Copies of this chain bind each other. A is one copy, B any other.
């Protein structure tokens, strides 16, 4: 994939920096994006108009030359690391070796992502390199704008997500109500059983995932609770799935709220309101609108119905207590923000729209789609019905 790093070039100019440096393994999205290389141990990637990799050991050397997008691939041993060990010990030898690598590319001042490791930064500073934490997180901002190829990767992950959601809903549809329990094939139906079905479905479609949320009752009132134990009839069950395609590393993200049986008046009202907020937010998505604008639309809907929001009360613990959405790509949470600090939306931004309401007395309700901002609005990358009651 060809990267458009013009924003990064401009930022380096602004900072009067000679290059941008990443020190991370490839679970770090900046690292995987910039290097185009997948490795389990940290390595350096320097961008100075072209891309240069530096590995501590030789283990990844051959594969990096074949697979990475870098112009040069080198090792500590190529910059005299082994000769420094006796005199300086491992840590200072490593700092001096990294400085020698930067020196070879005439880099005296280097910008780094905000979460760049302190020990590497301090070590380079001791060797006379200026290291600037990039408060604008420019590489993350570059990653926010997806190419057509990246959008197709997200779409593929979201298609697997739709299959997994359907598998979950199908289990719920087959469940029988037995008092305050759901039963499937005689067994009590649990959050764990539903997650297993979801995750096996995703695995068979080439996706991995760290976690899935299947939360019912008071579990669902905490947006970050993954849920556990028996699922209850007549209560909202939040199913939030965010798989990562193992081949491309891009994510999907979708939430539906289901109810088996008869939701009470309150839950129906919350669901209808959340669906209205979700549709209003989608209508607001277009280039030039900010993430904050879209978030405000959701807050308006909820506040008009006299429900608490963080906009209205920063200490709120019930009501609408998170942002409207976030970017999705190599990270499942990335730029741009669709919240109070969200900047201007641009074509190619892939974002979630996910209003929700929470209260331990009621449970939780959330509806989430994944969309891409287009030249004149948005395209919804999610093809799944919005409906509370499971038939």
Contacts and interface: CB of A to CB of B under 8 A. Distances in A.
Interface of A: 27, 39-41, 57-63, 77, 82, 90-91, 112, 114-122, 131, 133, 135, 196, 199-200, 203-204, 208-211, 222-225, 246, 310, 314-317, 321-322, 333, 341
A310 B90 CA distance: 17
Contacts of A322: 59
Closest 7 CB pairs of A and B: A114-B119, A115-B117, A119-B133, A116-B118, A118-B133, A118-B121, A199-B203
Contacts of A58: 310, 314-317, 321
A270 to B, nearest CB: 19
Given A115-B118, A117-B116, A317 B61 contact: yes
Nearest to A360: B62
Contacts of A122: 133
B321 A59 contact: yes
Nearest to A136: B91
Contacts of A121: 118, 121
A15 to B, nearest CB: 14
A44 to B, nearest CB: 13
User: Secondary structure at chain A's binding surface: helix, strand, loop or mixed?
Assistant: loop
A391 B25 CA distance: 39
Contacts of A57: 310
A97 to B, nearest CB: 13
A112 B117 CA distance: 10
Contacts of A115: 117-119
B62 A317 contact: yes
Nearest to A39: B224
A253 to B, nearest CB: 12
7 contacts: A27-B210, A59-B223, A59-B321, A117-B118, A119-B133, A208-B208, A208-B209
A95 B317 CA distance: 25
A58 B321 CA distance: 8
Contacts of A333: 40-41
A264 to B, nearest CB: 24
A39 B209 CA distance: 16
A77 B203 contact: no
Nearest to A206: B192
Contact of A60 (B62, B224, B316, B341): B224
A112 B121 CA distance: 13
A327 to B, nearest CB: 14
A111 B321 CA distance: 34
A27 B116 CA distance: 16
Contact of A196 (B63, B77, B204, B224): B204
Contacts of A112: 118
B222 A62 contact: yes
A322 B199 CA distance: 33
A352 to B, nearest CB: 14
Contacts of A200: 200, 203-204
A321 B90 CA distance: 19
Contacts of A120: 114
A59 B224 contact: yes
A208 to B, nearest CB: 6
Contacts of A204: 196, 200
Given A118-B117, A203-B203, A333-B40, A135 B224 contact: no
Nearest to A228: B247
Nearest to A221: B62
Contacts of A119: 114-116, 133, 135
A224 B57 CA distance: 13
A321 B225 CA distance: 43
Contacts of A203: 196, 199-200, 203
